[in-house]
Structure 1
Amino acid sequence: MSQRPEKLVIAISSRALFNLQDSHRVFEEQGLEAFSAYQIERENDVLEKGDAFPLVEKFLQINGRLEGDPRVEVILLSRNSADTGLRVFNSVEHYGLNITRAAFCNGESPYRYIAPFGCHLFLSTDGRDVRHALEQGVAAATLIAGGARQRRDDTLRFAFDGDAVIFSDEAEQIFKRDGLAAFTAAERASAQKPLGGGPFKGFLEALQRLQAEFGADDCPIRTALVTARSAPAHERVIRTLRAWNIRIDESVFLGGLPKGEFLRAFGADVFFDDQPSHCASAAEHVATGHVPHGIANQDA
């Protein structure tokens, strides 16, 4: 009897899925009681789509492309109470999103439910929750509000930075401490030695297993590595992915050029990077998730 494939599970906060800026402002300025009254009074008003909505919509469409049990799932995690969260679920139903599992935590952080739900990725607008998820070993990112633009097709496009995201930050530590020349020399000397895994390695592996269930010509998922690295530091990256048996659809080695235009050309539905400055720039072009991991975030 063949074993059923593992389901790919993404957890998302309600503020990432929907635009809750107005109600969050009420919470910040007037407190929980006013926020609850605001939400209940408007629970039949449909929320506007948030920065992660296009990503979630495309992700859930994958289930319609495969026979048998659903292969992907989205879990809703929220600091709302179930009572005030009714507006969120009403909006989920309005948009036809097949989201059936959720945790409403009434002001507390929902990150503790990520592991029990078996989540591979957590997206939130709350940096504290994201850091807690990373500490649990789950790929996680803080979504940055910006110029999210959706490519108008059904292909879901994930773009990743390399160091401190897919890979460990061991090479980036040398760059930060000793500069570009030392980094380049170290990477050339270690070209045959695979890098350690970063927080998104497991998610990328799960994503590739899902891609493998489709033919090469009809896969609804594409991946891209978009990195500031250039030759000769590219070789270690390529050999590391080969050692992990991970295939990236597109690899872009920019040699320090800004990433935004390249991400827009790829049509990324979301881009993950550890550098706050890179994230701010990329967010002008595509939905961007900051991964608060590694040496670039030690003082953040």
Structure 2
Amino acid sequence: MSKRTLYILGIALTIFLGSYMYPKFCCNGDSGKSIETVNPVLIDEIGKVNYNMFNLSGENFNYSCNKNFKFLSNGFNNVQPVNDSINMGISQLKSYFDKNGNQKLIITGYALNSEKNTSAFPNLGLALANDLKNYFISKGFDAIKFETLGELRDTWRVSNDTVYGAAGFRIKQTTEIASEKLKDWNALKEKINANPLILYFNTNQTEINLTPEERQKIADLSNYLDHVPDAKITCVGHTDNVGNRDVNINLGQNRANFIKNYLSKNGISDNRIESTSKGPDEPIADNNSAEGKTKNRRTVVNLK
């Protein structure tokens, strides 16, 4: 084999190994350190160039890599599995938080105005942030370490039906969150329970269409649970008085379970939700009228 042929084969082998090894070793991070990488370019729906990068940043911690969380359009659950480079950064942040107790991660979820919000939250961006918060919690973080925000945008990083990097992350330092310790969570509980979330049911109803006010109440419930570790939600099902009482007790329980499952699908842990039934025993309206019966077919969601 000639020297020229060996030379060409050597170049080809170098290119092949570089292409194979780069995705595996392009990312790294540590407290106060990061290795910059070249970001794969994505084109959004109006042709502008965007960069897909996962970044955890704060005064004394920085981690970034060229992989990121992904969501399907109109969805609010991140696509699994999550890339190892992202999990590496989350693991390093967990170690950093363990050593620096007065830190908080602000997660801002971004969604397109054109996307349909099928979540229980006021906007899809907030639902995305809540889902990512739960992913961090699954990696050992305390829920109190997070604050979630949501923003809607006219454009974002989209490829086919996948939305890339639909969140921003920022670490708050101790001096920024000291005043938050004064927040009266009992006052929020009183506010929630004074005007609870009440969802009404039609016969054979299988879907929930929430108003903006109802979505905000669910966001308040989730926020309270994040900051009061022993708190729980109660879902109490009620019915009108038509038919057998035992049947109605079961019907009320089914309605309460339906709401529990709905909240669980939206990121509220089911072990923090209790569901019970009062059946026809606690009407709030006259069962002698159709209007009264409609008001009695309800599930009341409160804090315990």
Common fold: TM-score over 0.5:
no
Query: Which of the pair is proportionally richer in strand?
Result: 2
Structure with more relative contact order (C-alpha pairs < 8 Å, separation 6 or more): 1
TM-score by structure 1 length?
A: 0.26
TM-score by length of 2: 0.25
